[in-house]
Amino acid sequence: MFKVMIVDDEPAIREGLKTIIDWNRIGFEVVDAAANGREALQKFERIQPDLMIMDIRMPGMNGLEVIEQLRRNHSRTHVLILSGHADFEYARRALGYGVDGYLLKPVDEVEMEQELLRVYESLEQEQHVGAQRQQPVPAHELVEQMLMSSSGKEQERAQQALSLGWPSYQVLLLEHHASRGDHLDGWSTYLEQLHSWWNMEQRHIAFRAGNYIGILTGRSYGERELSELRERLLDHSTASEMWYAAAGMEVDELEQLHDSYADALDLLEQRFWFGTKGMAVSRSKPYGYGQEPEHTEQPSILAPQANEWADRLYYAVDIRSLEAAERVLTELMSVCHLARLAERDTKSLSSHVLSLALSRLPGSVAGSGPAVQSCLALIPELYSAPTAASMIDLMLRGLEQLLQSINGVSHESVMKQMTDFIRRHYSDNLKLELLAEVFNYNSAYLGKMFKTYTGESFNHFLDGVRLDRAKELLAQGMKVHKVASMVGYANVDYFHSKFKKYTGVSPSAYREQMENEQQH
């Protein structure tokens, strides 16, 4: 029931209003009455009525002066005024003080009940809103308002309402991936899980931060603590789910929380470059593919060229070395990261490199076509890989199956692999340094091993393979300049001098000699 006080200098009106209205049915109770304005103000302090029904004209202190005094004291009590026809100007002024309405004397019962019902609805709404305001806002919502709201005033109110008083503050951000590459769903489930682990006394508040889950903590989170949190999340997840985590800088004041949040956000947006740890801590070196380049005083790093890296990957596959392929792909990721390639561009380049490398394989390995196509079918999956490390793992799994399907990894000696490799690729721009990278040897040491094994230096052996092939092509009547290009010599004069030194005759003379022998 809402409380009502009737204020009128006429006793008949005071008593009449009490009896003609069924107050309880409407939701009101008449708790007191006053004969003049001063009495009304005195009783108001004690009664605190929700509604005052007040005569506009009373001796000593009229109704208008009472309403003015109430509003001056910041009272928001509702008021219905009673007036005669001659008091319209008073009534108009009273409306300026925010009264709910006025009724003409003599009071009409139906009209007054309608006014009372309207006031009752207003009081009910105010009571509901007031109850909501009194209900404390959950801490995680205050953190969300403070960090996510675009309104500066709302951020400030949220900060004041938090008033945590922790010695330091730090924002952690978590990103969830399922096997299909989707972002986090089922927010309430994960947040409830985190809330069940901690409460505010333990200085942790879990909240939603856009596509991520955030944690405001008063503890200091370094790599060890963040790793423990991530492992705990993984323990409560399925095998197909993955969590990535980033910890922003620690700050001393709550108003600096945006700095910690921005720091964590910047780190997590670099999630693709996280190493196998799957996390990053402010001012640490979490990246698995080379140091994060500084924005200043760094030389320009060009994006890697697909053809160059495709050649290296092809050579690694051609010698049946999964280890060499892993080195090539890891180095490619390092160069992409240092060149600041975007995630999408890195995936596109990697897919192109894999495609170019494997497209050459059927030409050198008979029957490898179906296995190559099976490996290339993995390319669409590369675009959903959450990190560079997971993308490399995906490519290596495909390459491992490919190598197993083409008679497995060779167990021949490194030197036998190397000489066979040269005989297959003599026309390429082969360098000892390149093969040292492919076979994972120091180039000087590999050169000595090669000479011990073959009795010749690398360059002399390569020239011998090339020139023997040149002899075969010249014997078929091919032109000298074309033969030079086909066996790996870009300069015809250089080929001429090499061939003459090797055979004792010029290329053209050798071709004529072979033609004469064939005629006889």
- Closest residue by Cα to residue 119 from 98, 145, 137, 142: 98
Q: Give this prediction's pTM.
A: 0.53
CATH of 443-519, one of 1.10.1040.10, 1.10.1740.10, 3.40.50.11540, 1.10.10.60: 1.10.10.60
Calpha distance 410→82 (Å, rounded) = 106
As a CATH number, domain 2-134 is: 3.40.50.2300
- Closest residue by Cα to residue 30 from 419, 43, 355: 43
Polymer length in residues for the chain: 520
Summarised one tens digit per residue, pLDDT across range 412-440 is 467 788 888 899 899 998 889 888 888 77
Q: What letter does residue 183 receive in the DSSP assignment?
A: -
**Phi and psi torsions of 206, nearest 5°:** -85, 140
Residues 6+ apart with CB under 8 A from 424: 318, 364
What amino acid occupies position 79? Answer: V
Query: Mind listing the pLDDT tens digit of every residue in the chain (520 residues)?
Result: 899 999 999 999 999 999 899 999 999 999 999 999 999 999 998 899 999 999 988 888 888 889 888 878 767 789 998 887 666 676 677 777 778 888 888 888 888 999 999 999 888 888 777 655 555 778 888 888 888 876 677 778 888 888 788 889 999 998 887 755 444 455 566 667 776 776 655 788 888 887 788 889 988 898 898 888 888 888 877 777 788 899 999 999 888 888 999 999 988 888 888 877 888 888 654 455 555 544 434 444 566 888 889 888 888 887 777 888 898 899 999 899 888 888 899 999 999 999 999 888 776 566 677 888 888 888 898 988 888 988 999 999 999 988 888 764 443 467 788 888 899 899 998 889 888 888 777 888 788 778 767 778 999 999 999 999 999 999 999 999 999 999 999 899 999 999 999 999 999 999 999 888 887 6
Distance of CA 434 to the CA centre of its chain: 39
Asked if residue 405 lies in contact with residue 466, where contact means CB atoms within 8 angstroms, the answer is: no
Q: Is 443-519 the same fold as 2-134?
A: no
As a CATH number, domain 139-281 is: 3.30.70.270
- Going from N- to C-terminal start, the domains of the chain cover 2-134, 139-281, 306-411, 443-519
What amino acid occupies position 187? Answer: W
